[in-house]
Structures are given as structure tokens and as C-alpha cells.
Amino acid sequence: MKNLPLGVDEASNAKPEDLAKLIHAVSHGKAKVRMQASVNAEREHEASASMITFFTSNQSIYNKLETLKGSPDGEMARLIEFIVKQPEWFNDNIGIAHFDKFRFNYGHAGIEFIQHYYKRGEAYVKALVDKWFERFNTELGKDTGYRFYRNIVAATFAGTELAIEAGIVDYDLERIFNAVILEIVQLKDDTVKINDTDYPGLVTEYILDNLGSMLVMDENKVMQEPLKGKPLVVRSEIHNSMQYISTTAFKKFLAQKQVSSREFERAMKNHGLTKERKRLTTGWGVGVNDNAIGVYAIRCKLPEKALNKDGQNT
């Protein structure tokens, strides 16, 4: 009753209509069916039973739901689908070492967890949930379309933080949170991963594709000018290894790659990406009256292919 998670293995074998009903039932809350003691009849029970449910499937549940109706938005809002890839280091021996332990696990950690819960108190736990709730809002906003995602993230991360305090598990919550938020951004923006997306590589690819639209500066010296008739979309400063890329132009490039700008910004935070306003023409002889524009600023070296040995554009 709102606490114990439900596990459903091989959901790919279920009918789409049954999955849709189950997703709505467990997320929204539906009375459990109970029998009367004296007769063979259902007992009236008004209390709802909403809970977190885990599915495993060999095929996309999103795709299965789409066979039921064209736009299963209600189910999509309640379902987060992660594609779990097998790590390169994973083999059968490691699998046995990891998963064989579950054969001898009888849920003893639950006792330790609930004891720690009461030791901390309900007010403390509610504050933990609120903290992760706000963390989610900070990253993805307060759009009502995220309401179920927001709730499950807040509940699971607060519970995991309690488990870490109790010494039951030892997880890197920040790393996991960043990965989960990135997955949710990709799901909501309907983007696809380019294998294991190389986000810094996208910056390099964009620069190499737009060499003719790049201004390269070294201190106050112009090393390369944009070609005649080409718009200026990249400013590269060799002396401090900074690249400034027009956000408007780069977002069009990302759209062609089916990578959302929010997805890119989120992933590149760890690489020092910031959003600024800057005049790309500073120090150049033309366009001195240009206004500052929105840019992505990132510290990285200019690709070697961009300049030849003499420091001039190729």
C-alpha cells in the first residue's frame, strides 16, 4: 500500500492494453481486489494502492504502447525507460559473482532501513524528498509533464540517501543523478543517442564543419578570418584555449544530429561548458559595432586540422 515496489519480469510478453492498464493503475492508484471471507465475492475496498513498479523487457515498452494508440502520452508520462547496455568488462564469471548473491538475500536490509527511517524521523525524511524534488526542478523545470518523473526521482534518491546513511549501500549519488537526468532529457525531447554520444566530439565536428565561418585570435593577432560571405558563428582564442560558438547556429546542428540542446548542455557541464553573451568580433577590424550574442563557451584546444604549421587557415 504505497510502499512496496512491484516487479514485472519480461514485460515484452504482455499485451499492450494490459501494460497500459497496469501503468495507470500502479501510478495513479487503484483499489486492490480482495475476497470476502464468507462468500465467493469481492470485498469492497476504497483505499488506493499506488506504487513504484519495475519492468524488465527485451524490447521497448514505448514501442509496444505505440501499437495500442498513436500517441500514448498518458502512459509515456508515467514510464521512464532506460536502455541498459552490457559493459565491456562484464562476463559470465562476473555475472555469477554479482547476481548469485541474490539467491541468498532474504531482505534483511529492509529491517535496518526501516529502523534508520524511524531513527531519523518523518520530518527529516520529508526534507530529503523535498531536496531531491527541488534538484529535479532546478535541472528540468516545473513542467507538469514531468510530475511522475519528478516524484519517482525524489522518492528513490531520498531512499537511497537514507540507505547510504544506514551503511546498507555505498553509491555515488551525484554520478547516478546526472546520468538519470540526462536519460530523462533524452526521453522527453525525443532524441536518440549516437552510440555512446561523444559530446565533446560534437563540438570538434561542428568546428571542423565551419572552418570558413570561424574567427581565430591569438592575443590581439588575427590568425584566421571567416571566408567572404560566410557568417561568423565560431570565435576561437588560441592563447587561452577558449571556443565561443553561437548558440543559435549550434542548436540547429544539434537538431540535425537528433541531440537536444538541453541534453548537450547537461552532459557538457562536466567539461566546463557555460552559456554567456559575447561579441564574437572583438579585436577584428570589421563589425566593431556588433552586439553581444548568446554563445556556448568551452575551454578546449582548436583541432589541429583547423590550422597549418604557419598558423594560417588551411
Q: Give me 267's grid cell.
A: 552532459
**Residue 146 banded pLDDT, cuts 50, 70, 90:** confident
What residues does 222 pair with on adjacent strands?
217
pLDDT at 314: 41
Least confident of 95-109, 184-198, 258-272: 184-198
pTM score over 0.85: no
Query: pLDDT-based confidence at 298, cuts 50/70/90?
Result: very high
Number of helices (H) and strands (E), helices first, in the chain? 11, 12
Residue 182 CA to residue 179 CA, distance in Å, equals 5
Secondary structure of residue 280 in the 3-state scheme? coil
Cβ count within 10 A of residue 293: 17
pLDDT of 173 reads 94
| Domain-wise residue ranges, the chain | 1-79, 88-188, 199-306
**Closest Cα partner for 46 from 56, 63, 33?**
33
* The one-letter amino acid at 137: N
Query: Does 303 have pLDDT greater than 80?
Result: no
Whether residue 252 has pLDDT greater than 60? yes
Q: State residue 305's pLDDT score.
A: 64
pLDDT above 70 for 48: no
> What pLDDT sits at residue 126?
95
Three cell numbers written together for 297: 563557451
More confident residue, 142 or 311: 142
With b for 16 or more beta-carbon neighbours within 10 A and e for fewer, the 228-264 pattern comes to eeeebbbbbbbeeebbbbbbebbbebbeeeebbbbbb
Q: Is it the case that residue 153 has pLDDT exceeding 50?
A: yes
Question: Per-residue pLDDT for 135 more than 90?
Answer: yes
Whether the per-residue pLDDT at 233 is higher than 90: the answer is yes
Q: Is 237 helix (H, G, I), strand (E, B) or coil?
A: strand
Q: Write the CA distances from 246 to 44, 256, 292, integer angstroms.
A: 62, 16, 10
Angle in degrees, CA 70, 264, 90, rounded to 5:
85
Query: ∠ CA 75-78-81 to the nearest 5 degrees?
Result: 90
Q: What is the pLDDT of residue 297?
A: 94
Cα separations in angstroms, 85 against 63, 78, 89: 18, 23, 12
How far apart are the C-alpha atoms of 233 and 219, rounded to whole Å?
19
Residue 85 gets which letter from DSSP?
P
What's the pLDDT score for residue 26? 82
For the stretch 269-278, pLDDT in tens is 878 899 999 9
Closest CA to 54 of 93, 101, 10, 113: 10
